[in-house]
Structure 1
Amino acid sequence: MVVWSILLSLTSMFFLLLISFFCVVTSVWEMLVNKCYIIEWEFLNVNSVSIVTSYIFDFMSLMFLGFVTFISSMVLFYSGGYMLGDKNLNRFIYLVLAFVASMGILIISPNLISILLGWDGLGLVSYALVIYYQNEKSSNAGMLTVLSNRVGDVGLLLSIGLMVSLGDWNFVLISAYLPSNSMALLVSLVVIAAMTKSAQIPFSAWLPAAMAAPTPVSALVHSSTLVTAGVYLMIRFSSALSNSVSTCLLLISCLTMFMSGLGANFEYDLKKIIALSTLSQLGVMLSILSLGFVNLAFFHLLTHALFKALLFMCAGVMIHNVKDFQDIRYMGNLSKFMPLTSMCMNLANLALCGFPFLAGFYSKDLILEVATNNSLNLIIFMLYVLSTSLTVCYTFRLIFYSMFGNFNLLSYSNISDESSTMTNPMLGLSVGAISMGSILSWLMFPEMYMICMSFFMKTLFLLVSLLGALVGYMVNLMSVNSKLFSLGKYEWISFMGSMWNLPFLSTYNLNRLSLNVIGNNFVLMDKGWSELVGGQGLFKIFTYYTYKNQILQDNKIKVFMKMFLFSLLVVLMI
């Protein structure tokens, strides 16, 4: 069984690598010759409304699909070492392949109906992966994940119903009609669907909770698939965004970016810190998208997928070696035991911070410069500056606690980089985290952006990043030496560290309210009026009259005499 699982993992990895190579090469060719292919298959036509399955193969869809399949192949190879002792490894690999297939359907679909297939497939398989370990924590996290995403699914279903008036669901072909005022509700529903999938405020609580899934799933889900599905949908619908919708999306995404960066500085769970950094980068993508720079959002989407998958893989190796502890306070000084993992993790962290000439630098620095050149108000500008500083702050905090801090490990042994099954995929993603930023910038922006800025504005984000790194190191050095420092401000720290109480608001209060409503509805409707006039009531009525009809057909003389006398009485009365 173990041999079969390893063979299945390797076969899937090579298959996805071939698809990735083909998609990337085809994408570059299409961009050079400026071509796009759309395949449609009409399988139902009702009253001039055509239900069509469509697939679009353009530069954007093929490039994104190539990155998704490449990261998925690395994750499958990595899973061969990380999940080696699991009894249900075959089930895990099939779930990951189903997840990749759902994401592929969503990427190449320009039709809302076929998008819904991939959209719901992502939701279903992600629920199965989050509850994979089958304990109470995983079950609660899975329910929070799937119920939060159902809000977006309802928005997508309602938008499909509204697009009936346009006669088609292919938003590429009818995008000229979408910006009209009559379609404002439709676009708003699509934006809500994207916000739930990309975990923007107030739907942010499910993303850190989904860390209950195995770490290889986190590397796939939180880099290039589930959470980026909402961003990709907004990229496709970007031409339909009105000014009011864009302004609301800009404010929400910047608040999400700031909130997640602030929460990560108070979090001690290694995977949740990286999940909150993913949430922050999703806010960056949606904020620049709402300003109208679609290509920049897509550029950051691709570069972020590489270094974030690498970051999760490094975190998984660290957790695996310290006997499944995820608290960074139980780590420390791992750079002496795991130099290769430490190098890859620091590389991914520096790419996340936008260190010059790494993948994150080319996209993030360009986004910040373009954003500050726009007519932003003071609040949005300050949110950008503070979020950039907080990103570097929690990154250096993570490095301090796990890599170079005090030796906090207990009586553990055999901490090393010996598992090549887990380190080889990390090396492959490290090459991407170093080189793909410059390569993609040459491909996607052959003509240079002309950005004129003052010296202060040009160096502002560099200075803020250096200040954030210094604050992150010094504050955590103080907190280690004075452990009771945070108890004096417990209320504020609890509020900021719990994502502004969003997990509490998303579960406890709403669950009590919904349970009361559902309980009253069950008593009044399901056991009340529905019993009287619903299925049970109709059953009693039909049973009664069927019995009477059966009596009439029994050919009894008493019955006919009663009917004759009744008819005679009616005639006499008339």
Structure 2
Amino acid sequence: MAENFKYSALVWSGSLLFGCLCLSLLLFSGLGNIVTFVEWEFFSGWGFSFSVLVLVDTLSVGFSFVVCLVSSCVFMYSMSYMKEDKFIGLFSVMVGCFVVAMNVLIYVPHLAFMLLGWDLLGIVSFLLVIFYQNSASVGAGVLTILVNRLGDVFLLMAISLISVVGTWGPLSESIFQSDYAAVAVAGLLVSACMTKSAQVPFSVWLPAAMAAPTPVSALVHSSTLVTAGVYIMFRYYPFFSAMDGVLLLSSKIGCLTLLMASLAACFEVDIKKLIALSTLSHLGFMVYVLGLGYPVLSFFHMVMHALFKSLLFLCAGCYIHAMGSCQDLRHLSGAGWVSSPLLVSCFVIGFSSLCGIPYLSGFYSKDAILEVSLESLSGVLEVMCIMLSASISYVYSMRVLLKTIFSSFSSVPSVLVLLEESFISIPLCLLGVSSVVAGFVAQSVWVESCQTFFMSQTSKMMVFFALNSGGLIVMLEFINPKFLQKSEILTKCYMTLMKMCASMWFLRWIFGQVPEVWYKSMSKTMSVLELGWMEVLGGYWAYFTLSGVSMKLWMLERVSILLILRFSLIFFLFFYSLL
């Protein structure tokens, strides 16, 4: 079985790398700049046309290149990471379906067929989250698929409204007879994108999906499932920009998501969930700058984020594997001492690119987003949230690096697991080099991403100090416990703030309680539908009510009245003596 899995993984990885080569030739030759439509009409009649539209342009080719590159690295990495698993054949098939579904979503802007790729992403993600078949995985999988089903409902409602105008193809304001219908369709599509990209208040499912295997997390949280919603917003950006207030509201939501995820990552102890929360933070960056009216910068940041975030997940998977499947950050202390220099270097490069260290890939997009947030004058609170979140990214990044690499061994003994270096080092080298040079190469080739903002020296220094203030916060982490011990009020305030941030502004508690109430009410409703009102409110209800009363009366019969009087007299004398 292991040999068959290696063969299939090599076939998948080689095919995807060949696809990356072809797509790179399209990009660098300039052919990708030519917009190409391929339409195949299935049915036409009674004022309605049903056809498939394939769109090939710079947006689709560039993002498909990133998806194929990350997927090939994940397949190659899985050859060593998943070789001892019992269902490795099923794993490779599901990951392959995941990649195919994402490419369908990328190249087909037709809403009906986009729904096909959209639903296939949700179904396969559910199967991959519950892959380990335990109670925690099932709970996380159910939460993931329920929230994504809510996004499917929004998308189906949008398709039903669009069907009135007789087309499911590219959207524009001119095809709608009423402005209210256009605004409703835009609002439903944006809501669907918010659920898929885990924006507030649908953010809880993204860290819960970390129950999936680590190679799947590297694929899902870098370039496929969570970025699908943002990609749809890129694709229909001209339509959304024509609707007043839609993109403005999405930018506010993205700003809140950015702040919430950054604060939650500071108090997270699971290394995979911490990296997932940083993914959520960068998704907020993308949605925020897209709402400001800079889709090129948003797409540029999404491409750079896919490279270094997949690198971080693969490196974290190696450390988890080496420490005996331990994901607790407190027990991973000193894990870097039992790893190779390549793994340590790639881990440092990934977090440095995440923080925006010059001149790595993340710097080119992140610094431009911070500058445009200052120059756009969108609001004082939004600018403060963006700057605070940018500095907090240094906090949780340095927290992980200081624990895993630059710390001494913890009480948990390390278990050195010898992985096949060829299948681990090649993906790490590819993604590591991409995280270093991809930003510079992209700006050299893609002229539209080189947007220049003329800022004053004060604004430039403000951005610089905002980014580097995270180091000061890391230093204060070692002073806080001694400082808080002197004041009980400050300790209570700090603990309350920590609970609020760690629970993602109590969204985890809400999404834990609402399904429980929902399932209880639904079970009662189903019993009413199956048994009937007369049975539930008649004999069935009378039986349980009277049986409870009879049980209480039977227990009273077993208790002696004389014994009750004796105890009552003792209590009366006791209280009388106190008075």
Q: What range is the shorter-chain TM-score in?
A: 0.7 to 0.9
Amino acid at match of 2:451: Y
User: What's the C-alpha RMSD, in Å, of the aligned pairs?
Assistant: 2.4
Per-residue deviation at 1:113? 0.4
1:423 pairs, out of 412, 422, 425, with 425
Q: How does 1:155-554 map to 2 (within 5 A)?
A: 155-171=154-170, 174=172, 176-177=174-175, 180-241=179-240, 242-338=243-339, 339-414=341-416, 419-445=421-447, 448-476=450-478, 488=492, 489-508=494-513, 510-528=514-532
SS in 2 for 1:27: helix
Retained in 2: the 8 A contact 1:238–1:292? no
Give per-residue Cα distances to partners, 1:13-45, cap 9 Å, x unaligned.
00111111112222343457x411111111122
Decide whether the 8 Å contact of 2:23 with 2:61 is kept in 1: yes
What's the CA shift for 1:409?
Answer: 5.0
Report the Cα distance in structure 1 between the residues aligned to 2:124 and 2:482, rounded to whole angstroms.
Answer: 41
Kindly state the Cα deviation for residue 47 of structure 1 after the two structures are TM-superposed.
1.6
Query: What is the CA–CA distance in structure 1 between the aligned matches of 2:427 and 2:496, rounded to whole Å?
Result: 42
Change (3 A) 1:446 1:374: closer
- How many matched pairs? 528
Give the match for residue 90 of structure 1.
89
SS at structure 2 position matched to 1:267: coil
- Bigger CA drift: 488-497 or 85-94? 488-497
CA distance in 1, matches of 2:438, 2:343: 20
Q: What is the CA deviation profile of residues 194-247 of structure 1, one whole-angstrom value per residue up to 9, with x for unaligned ones? A: 000000000000000000000000000000000000000011121122231122
Contact 2:206/2:276 (8 A) holds in 1: yes
1:63, CA displacement in angstroms?
A: 1.1
Change (3 A) 1:413 1:259: same
Provide the rounded CA distance (Å) in 1 between the counterparts of 2:481 and 2:225. 35
Q: Which moved more, 1:218-227 or 1:16-25?
A: 16-25
2:321/2:417 contact within 8 Å kept = no
Maintained 8 Å contact 1:175/1:239: no
CA spacing shift, 1:433–1:481, aligned 2, 3 Å: farther
2:368 counterpart SS class: helix
1:292 CA displacement? 1.1
Distance 1:402 1:483 in 2: 28
Aligned partners of 1:297, 1:148: CA distance in 2, in Å? 24
Instruction: State the Cα deviation string for residues 300-322 of structure 1 (Å, max 9, x = none).
Output: 11110000000000000000000
Look up the equivalent residue of 1:412 and give its one-letter code: S
- Describe the superposition over 1:52-93 as per-residue Cα deviations: whole angstroms up to 9, x where unpaired: 111111111011111101100000000001101101111101
- Alignment-derived partner of residue 547 in structure 2: none
Deviation at 1:472, TM superposition (A): 2.0
The amino acid across from 1:145 in the alignment is: T
SS of residue matched to 1:239:
helix
Instruction: Establish whether residue 51 from structure 1 lines up as the match of residue 50 from structure 2.
Output: yes
Matched to 1:500, the amino acid is: W
Kindly tell me: are residues 114 and 250 of structure 1, through their superposed partners in 2, closer, same or farther at Cα, counting changes over 3 Å?
Answer: same
1:255 aligned partner, one-letter code: L
Q: For residues 337 and 516 of structure 1, do their structure 2 counterparts lie closer, same or farther at Cα, with a shift above 3 Å needed? A: closer
Aligned residue for 1:158, secondary structure, equals helix
Q: 2:446 corresponds to which letter in structure 1?
A: M
What are the superposed Cα offsets for residues 273-308 of structure 1, whole Å, 9 maximum, x if unpaired? 000000000000000001111111111111100000
For the 8 Å contact 2:484–2:491, the answer to whether it is kept is: no
Give the letter aligned to residue 455 of structure 2. M
Amino acid at match of 2:306: A
Aligned partners of 1:397 and 1:476 also within 8 Å? no
- Give the secondary structure class of the aligned counterpart of 2:167: coil
Q: Which moved more, 1:243-252 or 1:125-134?
A: 243-252
Aligned to 2:22: 22
Cα deviation, residue 416, structure 1: 6.9
Cα separation, partners in 2 of 1:131 and 1:447, compared to 1, 3 Å? closer
Give the SS at the match of 2:324: coil
- What percent identity do the matched residue pairs reach? 37
Equivalent AA in structure 2 for residue 297 of structure 1: S
